[in-house]
């Protein structure tokens, strides 16, 4: 059965989109990010939602965060050290930084009722 070229292109583009959507989660797993960071709350380091909240309105945050992923940092979140992740490529660090910064705002709570 022969598929028209347009159908093949549609299938190829759909597969590319699906891969792009799952790439950040795969990178989180591959690089062990979840060993120190929670999705929302602090484990060893801050949760991804906490990071997004801090830098939400900072246009310089994506490249700076990508650099911190690769080179590490200390003092940004207290005395906790973010170790250098030199095995993470520059491209992957940009994907991870963009994903982290895209996390939804933290839910505001009024406390116990």
Residue 6 lies in a domain: no
Containing domain of residue 33, as a range?
Answer: 25-101
Residue 56 lies in a domain: yes
pLDDT at position 52 is 96
State how many domains the chain has.
1
Residue 15 lies in a domain: no
For helices 61-71 and 48-55, the axis angle rounded to 10 degrees is: 140
pLDDT at position 109 is 65
Residue 83 lies in a domain: yes
Residue 109 lies in a domain: no
Residue 112 lies in a domain: no
Which residue positions in the chain have pLDDT lower than 70?
1-22, 109-113
Per-residue pLDDT reduced to its tens digit, 70-100: 999 999 999 989 999 999 999 999 999 999 9
DSSP state of 37: B
Residue 5 lies in a domain: no
pLDDT at position 112 is 58
Predicted TM-score (pTM) of this structure: 0.73
CATH number at residue 47: 1.10.760.10
């Amino acid at each position: 059965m022969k598929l028209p070229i347009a159908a093949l292109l549609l299938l190829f583009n759909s597969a590319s989109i699906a891969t792009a959507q799952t790439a950040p989660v795969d990178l989180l797993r591959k690089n062990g990010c979840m060993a120190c960071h929670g999705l929302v709350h602090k484990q060893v380091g801050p949760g991804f939602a906490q990071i997004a909240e801090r830098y939400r309105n900072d246009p310089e945050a994506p490249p700076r965060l990508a650099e911190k992923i690769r080179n590490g940092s200390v003092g940004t979140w207290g005395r906790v050290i973010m170790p250098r992740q030199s095995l993470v490529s520059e491209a992957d660090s940009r994907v991870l930084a963009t994903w982290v910064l895209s996390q939804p705002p933290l839910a505001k709570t009024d406390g116990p009722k």
